[in-house]
Amino acid sequence: MILSPPDNVQVLIPPVVEPVSLADARAQVGLLPDNEEHNFLLAQKISTARRLIEQRLGITMVATKLRGVWRQCPRVVALPAPPLLVDFEHPVSVTIDGQPVQPADFEVDADVRPGEIALEVAASGKLVVEWWAGRLPGSILCPLLHSAILMYVDHAFRNRGVLADDQTVVLPVGFEDLLAASSWSGRY
Structural domain contains residue 187: no
- If we measure between CA atoms, which residue out of 25, 15, 22 comes closest to residue 60? 15
Higher pLDDT, 160 or 25: 25
Q: Is the pLDDT of residue 186 over 80?
A: no
Structural domain contains residue 148: yes
The pTM of this model reads 0.86
* Beta-ladder partners of 64: 133
Q: How many domains does the chain have?
A: 1
Taking the C-alpha atoms of residue 30 and residue 17, their distance in angstroms, rounded to an integer, is: 22
Taking the C-alpha atoms of residue 154 and residue 166, their distance in angstroms, rounded to an integer, is: 23
Structural domain contains residue 136: yes
Model confidence pLDDT, tens digit, residues 24-71 = 999 999 998 888 999 999 999 999 999 999 999 999 999 999 999 999
Domain that holds residue 74: 8-182
Structural domain contains residue 2: no
Structural domain contains residue 3: no
User: In this structure, what are the phi and psi dihedrals at residue 118, rounded to the nearest 5 degrees?
Assistant: -120, 125
What is the edge-to-edge ordering of all strands in the sheet holding 106-109? 76-79, 115-119, 106-109
Structural domain contains residue 1: no
Sign of the alpha-carbon torsion through 58, 63, 64, 69: positive
Predicted pLDDT at 173: 84
Sign of the alpha-carbon torsion through 79, 111, 130, 179: negative
Structural domain contains residue 111: yes
Structural domain contains residue 145: yes
The single-letter DSSP state of residue 58 is T
Model confidence pLDDT, tens digit, residues 59-115 = 999 999 999 999 998 999 999 999 999 999 999 999 999 999 999 999 999 998 889
